[in-house]
Amino acid sequence: MFMLKGQQIQVINSSDLTPIESVAVFNLARDRAAITDSLGMIELSIFQAGDTLIFQHSSYLLKRFCKSDLHNHQKVLLQSRKILIDEYVISASKYRESSLIIPYMVDVLQDQVLMETTGFTAADILEETGNILVQRTQGGGGSPILRGFEANKVLLVVDGVRLNNAIYRNGHLQNSITIDYSILERTEVIFGPTSIMYGSDALGGVIHYYTKDPQLGSDSTTLFNAQAYMQYASAMNGITGHLDFSLGKKHWSSLTSITYKNLGDIRMGTWRDPTYGNWGELMHYVDQVGGQDSTLENGNPLIQLNTGYSQMDILQKIRYTPSQYVDWILN
């Protein structure tokens, strides 16, 4: 609507009735024009009585009025315009790309998906996409395989920092479990060669983990956030505990994350096809007795002994933003 004070009119948003700044108003000949101020006010005395006025803003639908019709109005309402844009991904190729034009498939796991996962490691969340095969030698294993490539042909990256390269072993590489998925903002998996950007170690693809950044506060407000959770898995008698908290001022902020996992030996289910007999059961295991390797009887063949492990992940990020053009993050 427009508030009439002489030849002044106010332009406002039709949904929340807030004033709209920087609305361009001009006639059809485009020889007279004006722009609304911070209160949405505009002076119409520069236009002729018979002029058709066009109200235009990039975020609102265009409207036309005859100036003579505005004498009986105090406010004019503009309706917000819905702008549809292509989906973009911030990929491990280091620049923004539209998912509609890139020549290979990209899986993007957002933080909401990561928080709802039932997996215990960052390798589990990759396997749950249904597009990645994960090789496991033991409970603490997790070697991703992309398009048949693995180990030194799949590049793992955390916040732009490599975890492996082409000189690593050709066999399975379990580095993916060293990532704490509890503090990830998103995970991007690129199924395609990016060797031009990264070298031959990215022949099979790139898995890029992005951790959350500390959030800044304001002049008058100190921002504080904290979250924690516990997780239990009966199959391996495993427990996970996570705690992260952040503190933000106007120019600096801090984020601390601690996650502890204690995963026991893997236990197989009791139900099995009778035709299999005891296939798959672990009847014996190897341990040292008197300093010598010895074969011992396993008291519970359904327990895969020596497959458990524990892990602690600690992440500390400090952010310093002296101005809107400078942003430093120490990870």
Alpha carbons 160 and 114: distance in angstroms, whole number? 20
Strand partners, 132: none
pLDDT band at 5 (very low <50, low <70, confident <90, very high): very low
What is the CA 129 to chain-centroid distance, rounded?
Answer: 15
What's the length of the chain? 331
Alpha carbons 107 and 116: distance in angstroms, whole number? 17
Q: What is the pLDDT of residues 217-237, one digit of tens each?
A: 888 889 999 999 999 988 788
| Percent over 70 (pLDDT), the chain | 89
Q: Where are the beta strands (DSSP E) in 249-325?
A: 252-263, 266-267, 284-289, 292-297, 303-304, 309-323
pLDDT band at 57 (very low <50, low <70, confident <90, very high): very high
**Is the pLDDT higher at 312 or at 104?**
312
Q: What is the pLDDT of residues 124-139, one digit of tens each?
A: 888 888 888 888 877 7
Cβ of 211: how many Cβ atoms within 10 Å?
A: 20
Phi, psi of 317 (to 5 degrees): -125, 135
Nearest CA-CA partner of 207 in 146, 119, 149:
146
Whether pTM > 0.75 for this model: the answer is no
Sheet strand arrangement including 41-43: 41-43, 8-13, 75-78
